[in-house]
Structure 1
Amino acid sequence: MNINRLIYPGFWFGKTPEQDALEMARRGAGGFCIYGGTRREVQDFIQKIRAASPLPQVFICADYEDGLGRWMAAEEWVLSNLAVGADGREDTAYQKGLTLAREARAVGVDWVFAPVLDLCDEPQNPIVNTRSFGAHPQAVGTLGAALCRGLRDGGVLNSIKHFPGHGRTTQDSHLGLPLLARTPQQLTQTELVPFCTALPGADSVMVGHLLFPALDEKYPASLSRAVITDLLKKRLGFQGLVFTDALCMKALGDEKQAALAALHAGAHILLAAEDSVALSDFLQKQALPLSVAAESVRLQETLGARLSGHPVTGLSAADFNQTYAPHCAVYEGEKLPLRPGLRAAYLELGNEEDFVAQPFLNALQAAGVHIVPAGEKAEVLLAVSFSNYKAFKGHINLSAAEQAALSRAAQKYAHTVWISFGSPFGTENIRELSARLWLFSPARAAQTCAADMLLGRQTAQGKLPF
């Protein structure tokens, strides 16, 4: 038994030494999870890994929940799950799955760690937010199951996450261990509902670094036999592959001991350790649960055979966004159609990741709207927020200072519209707003759609999914 088949190293372009990845490939690592890079860099890396590996198949995985854009600066984002939740139709979720599969296959990725089935029921959650389909458990499960079908039909493998539910926390598990004080009954009625609905179509389940004392007082879910074996496998009957969440996250402490505990708990794949070579050396000296290891290899081979079919071709990211953005947008408040010659003041907030608002501004200016900086004389204030989730960031939504700045700016204008291309939360207590427009995504088509709606050319057709 080659224990390295149970290790899926992470590879961060520009950070991880390539020789470490090639060493793990030579040792027979079952797969790799990639982060960042360009299309060409990803394709070249995959070619090198597969050439170095003794295995007939090496899985290449990625967190392409919102397409390539989250990880590749020059690429398009795909509309978020929360946008799909605002639309609410299964076919939209299915089509997103096909699009994500098309995007992944284009660069050589054959396993997409999606969809997120956590609930969007805690506005201060810094890492779920737009990754969720919404706050309603059954709707989240139904849409998640549809996206799983889209990924599978599109020719890639899927993974539902973060079992048993990451929604009700205000802490990012990349930075620490969230504790969720949920009773077994609450879990059954809320967090577990989406997973139960989507499990029949799930190729794999990713278990979160979350402490649920009601299930296991000592171990996080990702290291807990009570969660992985007793709950997921036995009670819920899941017979597929079980991933840990990334072992390099700061929720677990010593990743070698965490990895060993995860295998004894019933996990099949150890994902993205900070030092996979050292982990490999360590595990080869340990007493391991051979039944779990054998089960892992068998499941990997079974899933690999599934990739040999003929995939359904989905829409490109740009075409998917263009088609569905109006159905995913939500508008509340005064109807304030902009017109040629109107002066609109522009205020940008919550943009810590250098999102570019040019598609939105260009569309307004092309229609004859004069954009001026906030503070100058204008008929309306357009307050645009790009606040979005990001691993290891630890916060989301507008800061108290940004909310205060927005409130002060809004007082100077007769009308103020808040347009969100990210988190939908953070302005609930700002009374000066005349209207709110939610797109839930920074995608170019979402931005041009927002402009068209403000110009009265399109109508927002979605409903808030929380």
Structure 2
Amino acid sequence: MTSSRRTAAALAAATALLLALGAAGPSATATTDVEDVVAAMSEDELVGQMTWVHVYGSGAEDRSRAAENRARYGVDTPADVVRKYALGGVLYFAWAGNTDSPEQVADLSAGLQDAAAAGPGVPLAITVDQEGGEVSRLGHPVTDLPGGMALGATFDPQLARGQGEVLGAELAAMGVNVDWAPVADLNTNPDNPVIGLRSLGADPATVSELTAAQIQGLQSQHVAAAAKHFPGHGDTDVDSHTGLPVVAGDPAELAAHLEPFRAAVAAGVDIVMSAHIVVESIDPDMPGTLSPAVLTDLLRGDLGFEGLVTTDALDMAALKQLPGNPLDDGDIAVLAIQAGSDILLAPPDVDAALAGVREALATGELTRERLEESVTRILEWKVERGIWDGAERPGLDVVGSPDHRAVAAAIAERAVTLVRDEGAVLPLDPAAGPVLLAGAGSAWPERLTPLLAAEGLTVTERLESGTSPSRGYRAAVRSAAEGAAAVVLAVDDLRADAAQQALVTELAASGTPVVVVLAGTPYDYAAVPGEVAAVLASYGTSTVSHAGVAGVLSGRVLPTGRLPVEVTAPDGTVLAALGSGVRRTEEVTPAAVTFTDLPGTQDDAVEVPDVPGVAYLLDGQTLTPGTHPAEGTVVVTAQADPPSAYHLADGADARWEHTFDAAEATPDAAEPAPAEDGGPAGWLLPAIVATLLAAALVLAARTLHRRR
């Protein structure tokens, strides 16, 4: 046989094999399996896969919360709920008894997966709201991570990815495969009652970059991320848990709020969660969760999202408050599916939702094909995310590990923003005398006491529970301040509380230096009088956030945080600009990296400069100054090193991307010589065929194993 005939035969064999495999490797086999499973499902089972709800109890067969399960679902145990509805997913909550300890959560997850093996035999999505900060359903010993706005104040995508990796690894260890995070909302309304500190900030570019980094970190641990709340809940002044927010959706403002979601889609986010808000410029009649214009036209069409679309929790009040258009639970389920949602999250009455979908199928408002479309997408995601085959997960020893706590501490310390320091009050001098600690009970100032003592400061306390300081408490604090070297006053929601404002004003007039710690949103800075010596923003009341504050107060940590939002006075005057903050670290500017890209790959390289105070990273690994081999697409980033001593200059370039050309140099206008017997084309194509055949055998074995 001639060389050309052998080549043609090899190409034909390779082409036939690729066609047999669907040119897609494992996903083709998985798709075929999914199609078979979906086709065999009843309509109720299809709706069950689209329904993800919470269950009551600490174990799959736990009957201690049977009354609550029975009242909501008509059965006794968490496993009964899964089996009754052939559920596609469950949600974990502390108040439902699901999150006592990592070991218990892991056992519950395993038990529920066993229950899901009945019926269609599709494994569960096991989900939790673990954002960090104030929305954290899993407590100690799970790593206590700061919330979104604290992360935003670092302006550091490496820390954002690190937070995602910590969340993903710890959730995976407990059998959780979906985290309802990150919050991709821009918080542009200071009066937002539901987003606030959960947001990464108000700057579209920064929030986009940090959102994408969190998603990549989470999903690197085989845990799905869910960007929420589309198309943006950050400009609202109504909590959709209790009311129906309505925003105009000015085109320019809407475009800004969509940027983080575009970045999430580009980063490969698995899930996007809708918002129960009406955006009048898109759909003046329906909230996003029930609007085809939002979920189908905008999210699927404009943004090109191909993953899973989920409603926000359907037991929130917003959807029952459409003016002149009362909806029941069946109506809401049908409208959400028609709008484009794949997942009905936490419907308050599953039986009513199921009945509504059955009726819509009977009348033709919905079709089986529409349900199959969503369920196919859900099942294919379960295959791709490794849920179907029970992908390996880390051991429970990663939960709360020292390495993970170090990431949390780094975020908290880097977040602390020194908004004001008149007269260089900070750091506090241990030799000057005792520090008085006081503040609103909701700011949890008592958590600061042992942390400040560990930093070497002598602390006296004047504490009172509650959000609003009493007149007697304020008098006691003023009296105690007379003998203190300084007062550290933690406040929370200062703008809304006249008694807290009075305490701040009275202490500022006492003559003792006052350091106000904004443990709530940084918008509270607008209510701090000018007489206050120093103001810190910590973006949270958790112990890890207070530890960052203690480090800055003592001087062990130099402040590097910057405001991720703008703070204005009631008349619109800018009091503190986005990105502002007093930084005591040295400013450095990274020098650009250079790329050597010659024909072929042998000499391709990245040249890293030597800049004191700057570290260059490739794929999260620090590069030493000098030349490093490289190939494919590479992204090099720069960060301050160590961040306790340096910070990057505002606006400095800190990211470089290059795709190396792997093409070999060829003589000008030269035609490749035909391959002779035994030449490259003579052995390469048969080798490809042999490799593909081996892959086909492996895939067949895996498929047979899965079907068994």
| 1:17 matched to 2:69 | yes
| 1:65 matched to 2:163 | no
Which of 7, 13, 30 is residue 88 of structure 2 equivalent to?
A: 30
Which of 437, 440, 452 is residue 364 of structure 1 equivalent to?
A: 452
Contact 1:243 1:268 in 2 (8 A): yes
Q: How far did 1:301 drift?
A: 1.8
| 1:107 matched to 2:174 | yes
| 1:236 matched to 2:303 | yes
Q: Distance in 2 between matches of 1:168 and 1:379?
A: 42
User: Helix, strand or coil: the match of 1:161?
Assistant: strand
Amino acid at match of 1:327: R
Structure 1 residue aligned with 2:235: 168
| 1:381 matched to 2:472 | no
Amino acid at match of 2:86: G
Q: Distance in 2 between matches of 1:114 and 1:164?
A: 15
| 1:421 matched to 2:541 | no
Amino acid at match of 2:259: V
User: Helix, strand or coil: the match of 2:224?
Assistant: coil
Contact 1:141 1:197 in 2 (8 A): yes
Change (3 A) 1:294 1:465: same
Contact 1:78 1:317 in 2 (8 A): no
User: Helix, strand or coil: the match of 1:459?
Assistant: coil
Contact 1:321 1:443 in 2 (8 A): no
Contact 1:80 1:441 in 2 (8 A): yes
Amino acid at match of 2:453: Q
Q: Distance in 1 between matches of 2:492 and 2:166?
A: 23
Contact 1:184 1:215 in 2 (8 A): no
Q: Distance in 1 between matches of 2:379 and 2:134?
A: 27
Q: Distance in 1 between matches of 2:185 and 2:495?
A: 18
Contact 1:120 1:128 in 2 (8 A): yes
Change (3 A) 1:350 1:138: farther
Q: How far did 1:52 drift?
A: 2.3
Amino acid at match of 2:145: V
Contact 1:266 1:292 in 2 (8 A): no
Q: Distance in 1 between matches of 2:136 and 2:511?
A: 35
User: Helix, strand or coil: the match of 2:282?
Assistant: coil
> Over residues 149-202 of structure 1, what are the superposed CA-to-partner deviations in whole Å (9 max), with x where a residue is unaligned?
0011012001101000000011110010100112234312x1111111211221
Structure 1 residue aligned with 2:372: 294
Structure 1 residue aligned with 2:548: 449
* Segment drifting more, 238-247 vs 126-135: 126-135
Q: Distance in 1 between matches of 2:217 and 2:77?
A: 34
Q: Distance in 1 between matches of 2:134 and 2:381?
A: 23
Amino acid at match of 1:265: A
Contact 1:256 1:279 in 2 (8 A): yes
> Over residues 299-336 of structure 1, what are the superposed CA-to-partner deviations in whole Å (9 max), with x where a residue is unaligned?
22222123336679897542211233322221122232
- How much identity, in percent, do the aligned residues show? 29
Q: How far did 1:4 drift?
A: 0.9
Q: How far did 1:24 drift?
A: 3.2
Q: How far did 1:280 drift?
A: 2.8
> Over residues 198-217 of structure 1, what are the superposed CA-to-partner deviations in whole Å (9 max), with x where a residue is unaligned?
11221010000000111111
Structure 1 residue aligned with 2:561: 462
Change (3 A) 1:284 1:21: farther
Matches within 5 A, 1:272-291: 272-287=346-361, 288-291=366-369
Which of 370, 383, 397 is residue 305 of structure 1 equivalent to?
A: 383
Matches within 5 A, 1:35-434: 35-36=93-94, 37-39=99-101, 40-53=103-116, 54=118, 55-66=121-132, 70-75=136-141, 76-188=143-255, 190-200=256-266, 201-253=268-320, 254-287=328-361, 288-308=366-386, 316-334=403-421, 335-336=424-425, 337-340=427-430, 342-349=433-440, 351=442, 356-366=444-454, 367-373=456-462, 374-375=477-478, 376=480, 377=482, 378-386=484-492, 398-431=496-529, 432-434=531-533
Q: How far did 1:350 drift?
A: 5.8
Q: Distance in 1 between matches of 2:444 and 2:163?
A: 23
Change (3 A) 1:69 1:137: closer
Q: How far did 1:278 drift?
A: 3.6
> Over residues 102-137 of structure 1, what are the superposed CA-to-partner deviations in whole Å (9 max), with x where a residue is unaligned?
221232211001111111211111111111111011
Q: Give TM-score scaled by structure 2 length.
A: 0.60
Q: Distance in 1 between matches of 2:550 and 2:123?
A: 46
Unaligned runs of 5+ in 2: 1-42, 58-64, 71-75, 321-327, 463-476, 566-708
Q: How far did 1:460 drift?
A: 1.1
Amino acid at match of 1:330: T
The answer to which structure, 1 or 2, has the higher relative contact order (CA under 8 A, 6+ apart) is 1
> Over residues 49-80 of structure 1, what are the superposed CA-to-partner deviations in whole Å (9 max), with x where a residue is unaligned?
22322233111011111179822454442121
* Segment drifting more, 358-367 vs 131-140: 358-367
Change (3 A) 1:438 1:134: same
Contact 1:77 1:317 in 2 (8 A): no
Q: Distance in 1 between matches of 2:100 and 2:371?
A: 34
User: Helix, strand or coil: the match of 2:225?
Assistant: coil
Contact 2:416 2:552 in 1 (8 A): no
Contact 1:24 1:276 in 2 (8 A): no
Structure 2 residue aligned with 1:390: none
Structure 1 residue aligned with 2:606: none
Max Rg structure: 2
Q: Distance in 1 between matches of 2:525 and 2:56?
A: 35
Contact 1:5 1:29 in 2 (8 A): yes
Contact 1:340 1:369 in 2 (8 A): yes
Q: Distance in 2 between matches of 1:220 and 1:69?
A: 24
Contact 2:330 2:355 in 1 (8 A): no
> Over residues 349-384 of structure 1, what are the superposed CA-to-partner deviations in whole Å (9 max), with x where a residue is unaligned?
261xxx754542112224142323223122222111
Q: Distance in 1 between matches of 2:418 and 2:110?
A: 46
Q: How far did 1:293 drift?
A: 1.7
Q: How far did 1:21 drift?
A: 4.1
* Segment drifting more, 408-417 vs 80-89: 408-417
Amino acid at match of 2:384: R
Q: How many correspondences in the alignment?
A: 454
Q: Distance in 1 between matches of 2:229 and 2:240?
A: 11
Q: How far did 1:446 drift?
A: 2.5
Q: Distance in 2 between matches of 1:92 and 1:168?
A: 26
Amino acid at match of 1:348: G
Change (3 A) 1:220 1:164: same
Q: How far did 1:226 drift?
A: 0.8
Q: Distance in 2 between matches of 1:44 and 1:68?
A: 26
Amino acid at match of 1:263: I
Q: Give TM-score scaled by structure 1 length.
A: 0.90
